[in-house]
Amino acid sequence: MSKKKVLFIVGDFVEDYEIMVPYQMLLMIGHDCHCICPGKKTGEYVMTAIHDFEGHQTYSEKPGHRFVLNADFDAVDPTSYDALVLPGGRAPEYLRLNPKVLQMVRHFAEANKPIAAICHGPQILSAAGVLKGKECSCYPAVEYEVASSGGSYVPPNDTFSSAHVSGNLVTAAAWPAHPAWMQAFVRLLGTKIEL
């Protein structure tokens, strides 16, 4: 397997499972993963939030963990990375306001590098203007943003466990889709796993 460099863009109140699990999965199979946040440096942390589906009209939110960043936002060169991951939670709603975040996302889209986005992560893709002509799954509350930016919304299955691939983009609605989402992303990366 050829080792890939994967960049994660996160912020405070990123969804806990949507940063922890894919980060650990990709490390486990040998990829080099760097996690950055605007205004923060290596060794600093973001707070996470746990979103759960408990029968209410929307998800509930509980405090998560401190997730330690392992790269400096201001020092990162996106051209040195092979792929991008955009977790969900509440962070994307304000990360999409950061011009440098949007510039980084555009680099990955224009270079046709693999991009994985989940839950509210497609809010950043929408703000970056990279969804035109793409199919995109996301948390249902983000459907309007996907459609208004020129993308086609792909609804999740009933258990929120499905993922969707559209060219270099793999998307999913929420953390129950991790197995399908990461499997599709690993395929886009060209990773072969020997058991």
Question: Tell me: the pLDDT tens digits for 100-112?
Answer: 999 999 999 999 9
Residue of 31, 51, 120, 164 with catalytic role: 120
Summarize pLDDT for 11-46 with one digit per residue, the tens: 999 999 999 999 999 999 999 999 999 999 999 999
Residue of 33, 35, 119, 138 with catalytic role: 119
Q: What is the DSSP letter of 144?
A: H
pTM of the model: 0.96
120 is catalytic: yes
Please give the domain boundaries of the chain with CATH numbers for all domains.
5-189 (3.40.50.880)
Q: Give the Å distances, CA to CA, from 47 to 19, 31, 133, 168.
A: 11, 24, 34, 29
